[in-house]
Structure 1
C-alpha cells in the first residue's frame, strides 16, 4: 500500500474513503458525522473497533488515547478494513499534534498493512491502494518525520519477511546472500566467513553448533561508516536459521516455529538497512552468527567441553542452549576485531524463560550498566515496543558454574533462566566493555502465533524501532 503526505487544503473531496479516528470514545466530536448510525451499530469507539459505512464512504475507528500505541493500532485497524474493499484511495487527517501523530500513523499503517503470502498457492489479485495523510502545517518539517518513519517501518517489514521464510528457503548461505543485497543497496562494507574461518580463529563454540548441518555456518559482518561518526556501535544477532535442539532434541510441538530463532540476526540486518538509509551519524557494525542446529553423526553432544574464541571453556549440558554459544564467539569476534567501541548490543530469541517471566509481547533487557538499561527501556517504550530490565545478581551467577570447565551452558536451577543466560554471555564481554554492553532477549515479541495490535501472526520485527530510538538518544 502506498502512503502519501499531502496538504489537506490543496486537494479535497477526491478520495474514495475517509478514515476518522474517534478519540477518547468521543462520539460527539465535530468530525463525527454519522452519530445516529454509529449508535445504532453499537459502535463505542474502543481500541481495535472499526466500522465501515459504505453509503457515506467513511471508516470510523476507535482510538482510546492520544498516544503512539493507540494511534498506531487505530490506523492499522482502519487500514485492514480498507484492504477488504475494492476502493483505491483513503485519507486520514493528522491529529492536533501533527508531528507526534504522523509517526504513529505512518508506522501503524505500514506495519498494519503487512501480510505474508509467499507460500499461498492461490494468488489473489491485489488492488493498488493509497493512503493519503492530510496535514495542515508546514509539510517540509513533517516530510522528514514521514520519510524516517517509512524507512523504519519498511525495514521492520523486511525483517518480518526474513523471519517468516521457512528454514528450507532461508539457511545460513541465504542469510548471507540477503545481507549482501542490503550491503549493495546501501553501500555498506560486508565480510562473510565460513566454517574454515571459525576453526582457524578458534571460534569452536559457534562452529560446534552448526557442524552437524548440511548448511555451512556463516559469520556475517556488515559495516556502516559515515564521515566523522559521533559513536561506534556494534549490533550482534543470533541467526539460528533453524533449531531442532540438537541431540537434546526438542519435543515435536516445540520444534514448530523454530524458523523464528533467526529473529535476532534478521533484526540486525533490518537495523543496518534502516541506519544506512537514515544516514545516522554513527559508525555501526552488524554481526550475525548464521547457524543451523541439527542432529547427525557430527553433532556436538551433552558432556562436550568447547573452547570459545577468548579461550574460556564451556561445559555442554544441553545442546538446545545453543544460541548463547553462537553469541559468545560473536561477542569475542567483535571485541577482537573492532577497536574503540562505544556500545555493544546483542539480540536473540534466547530463552523461553523470558517469555514465561514477562509475557509474549515484552523484550527483556540485561547488562551491567543500570543507566544504560533504563535508557534502552525508555527508548523502547517511546518507539512503541514493550521492554523491561532484568537484574543480574551474584547468586544466579553461581548457578552457571561448572565443576570441570570455566562455565556451564545451562544453569543448575530451573529458575531465572533468562538472567542466567544473560550472565553466561557476560563471561564473553571483556572487562573494558562491561559497562558498554546490553543483551536484548526478544524471545517473546519476535514471533507470536496470533495477531496483536499492528503486528500480524508470525514475525513482528521486534527490536528495530527500539534500537533506532536508542541510537538517536545516545
Structure 2
C-alpha cells in the first residue's frame, strides 16, 4: 500500500521522483492553486501559461506532466486539475482534492516517491489528499503471471506509487497526524473491499470469504462466528439456504463484531454476499453474467468497515453480518414458484430466483434484529432498477426513518460518495402479495428498487431504526478509471459506513 508521510519541506527542495501541483479552472484560463508557489517560482511565475500552452485548463481529471526546471529537486512536475476555481473566501472542496490526488497517483504508477503540493488548509484537506493518493494508487495484480515476478517488479512501470509525501502540513501537529492515520486506515479498507470484489468466484466463495473474515478477526481482535450449511439448516435460515442450495459451494452466515468498553451505541451492518450470481433457475441473459463476481460487494463493504472501525478504535459497538451464498442453477436449486420459510418465520413465494439478494438479506436482518442494535444498515448490489434510476455512480438510500435516511445521505456526501435519498411508497407493498405465502419476492416492475427496499423492511425488528443502501450502480466500475476510482471493484459504501460509526461514537446521531 502507498505510504503516507507529512513534510514541512518546500516543493522545490524535497527530494522526490515527482512533485504534484494543483491547477484550477479560472475565468481566463488555468490558475495555479495554493501549495504550488515554489514550483511556480521555478517556472519564473509562468507555470499557468505553460500549462495553457499544452492544452491544460484546470478541469477535473486532467493530468499534465512537465520536465522540472533547474530550481526543483524533483525531475518531474505533474499538474492535476482541481475543477472550478472556488470563490475568494472559499477553499477547495475535500472531494476535489481527493479526486485530484487519486488522478495523480494513477498517473504516477511506477514512481517510488511523489511530493503532493496540493492546497492544504486543515486536517480534513490532508486526510482527503491522503485517501485519494492511496485509493488512486490501487491496482489488482494477484492474477498476473508469476514467472519472474520478483525480477519484473523491480522495473514495473505499472507498480503503485510507493510513497506520497503531503506538503504544507506539520508532522508533529496532532490533528494532522491523526488525519493521516485515519486516511491510511480507511483507504486501506476500501482497497481490501476492492480486492475481495475483484477476486474471481472460483477462488472467492462462501467458505473462503468466511475464512478471510476469520483471519482478519484474529489480526484485529474481533469476535467472529461462522454458521455453515448444517447450522443454517438447523437454525431455520430458509432464505440463505434457499439461495445457496443449488451450488456445490454451500452458503455461510458470518457475524464479525467489534466492541469498545466505552461504547454507548451499537450499529449492525448487514451485507449481501452473493459470491456469484447466475440468476439461478431464472438464468440471467447473455451479457449479464460476466461481472457477477461483484454481487458480494455489500458484504465486502461491511467486512471492511468493521475492520476500519477496529483500526480506528472508535467508541461504538459495530457488528457485521455477511450473508454469503452462491446462486447457481442445478437439480437442487430453488425453483420459481417454490415457497421458502424464512428465519423470521414468514413464508416467501419465490417468483424469480434472480431476486435472491433480498432473500439472504432478510434472514440476516432478522438475526441482526435479535440483538436489538440502535440502528441497522444493510448494503447490497440489489437491483438493476436502482442503476436505471440513479446511474452507475450513485447509490440509493432508503430507510424506515426520514431523519436517519437524511443523515446517511449527508454522511455519504461528506465523505465523497454519491448517494440519493429514495422513498418507500406504502402502496407498492401490495404488489408483493402472494396467493399461497405471506409474501412474494417480486412485486411491481416499475419502481423495482423501491419494492426491494419494502421487502427488506418486512424483516427489520420492530422499533429498530434501519436504512438500506442499494449500491448496484457504483459497486463495480467497468469503464475507464477516473480520479481515485479504478476499473473493477470500487469499495463503495465503506467510507460512508465508517463515518456513520464515527458520528455515532461522537454522539452526533440520536
TM (norm. structure 1) is: 0.95
Q: Distance in 2 between matches of 1:82 and 1:212?
A: 46
Q: Is the 8 A contact 1:160 1:461 kept in 2?
A: yes
Aligned residues: 467
Q: Is the 8 A contact 1:110 1:154 kept in 2?
A: yes
Aligned twin of 2:31: 27
**1:118-267 map, 5 Å:** 118-121=142-145, 123=149, 124-125=152-153, 126=156, 129-137=162-170, 139-267=173-301
Please state how far the C-alpha of 1:113 moved relative to its aligned partner: 0.7
Aligned twin of 2:96: 70
Q: Which of the residues 83, 91, 113 maps onto 2:109?
A: 83
Deviations 1:293-320, CA, capped at 9 Å, x for gaps: 1111111111111111111110110000
Q: Distance in 2 between matches of 1:187 and 1:151?
A: 16
Q: Is the 8 A contact 1:9 1:136 kept in 2?
A: no
Deviations 1:266-302, CA, capped at 9 Å, x for gaps: 1111011101000010111111111001111111111
**1:218-367 map, 5 Å:** 218-336=252-370, 338=371, 340-367=372-399
Aligned twin of 1:15: 16
| RMSD of aligned residue pairs (Cα, Å) | 1.8
Q: Is the 8 A contact 2:120 2:126 kept in 1?
A: no
Structure 1: where are the runs of 5+ without partners?
Answer: none
Q: Distance in 2 between matches of 1:247 and 1:452?
A: 37
Please state how far the C-alpha of 1:37 moved relative to its aligned partner: 2.7
| Distance verdict in 2 for CA 1:441–1:136, change over 3 Å | closer
Aligned twin of 2:6: 5
Q: Is the 8 A contact 2:397 2:470 kept in 1?
A: yes
1:103 paired with 2:122, answer no
Q: Which of the residues 459, 464, 468 maps onto 2:494?
A: 464
Aligned twin of 1:429: 460
| Distance verdict in 2 for CA 1:28–1:228, change over 3 Å | closer
Aligned twin of 2:67: 54
Q: Distance in 1 between matches of 2:167 and 2:408?
A: 33
Q: Is the 8 A contact 1:7 1:139 kept in 2?
A: no
Q: Is the 8 A contact 1:51 1:60 kept in 2?
A: yes
Q: Is the 8 A contact 1:89 1:132 kept in 2?
A: yes
Q: Which of the residues 38, 46, 56 maps onto 2:51?
A: 38
Q: Is the 8 A contact 2:11 2:115 kept in 1?
A: no
Please state how far the C-alpha of 1:453 moved relative to its aligned partner: 2.7
Aligned twin of 1:391: 423
Q: Distance in 2 between matches of 1:285 and 1:95?
A: 37
Please state how far the C-alpha of 1:70 moved relative to its aligned partner: 1.4
Structure 2: where are the runs of 5+ without partners?
Answer: 70-75, 85-91, 505-510
Secondary structure of the 1:330 match is helix
| Distance verdict in 2 for CA 1:392–1:10, change over 3 Å | closer
Q: Is the 8 A contact 2:377 2:469 kept in 1?
A: yes
TM (norm. structure 2) is: 0.88
Secondary structure of the 2:139 match is coil
Please state how far the C-alpha of 1:90 moved relative to its aligned partner: 1.6
Secondary structure of the 1:255 match is coil
Secondary structure of the 1:432 match is coil
Please state how far the C-alpha of 1:129 moved relative to its aligned partner: 3.1
Q: Distance in 1 between matches of 2:353 and 2:224?
A: 30
Please state how far the C-alpha of 1:121 moved relative to its aligned partner: 2.3
Q: Distance in 2 between matches of 1:302 and 1:260?
A: 24
Q: Is the 8 A contact 2:61 2:482 kept in 1?
A: no
Secondary structure of the 2:369 match is helix
1:444 paired with 2:478, answer no
Q: Distance in 2 between matches of 1:210 and 1:309?
A: 15
Aligned twin of 2:448: 417
Q: Is the 8 A contact 2:6 2:169 kept in 1?
A: no
Q: Distance in 2 between matches of 1:398 and 1:147?
A: 49
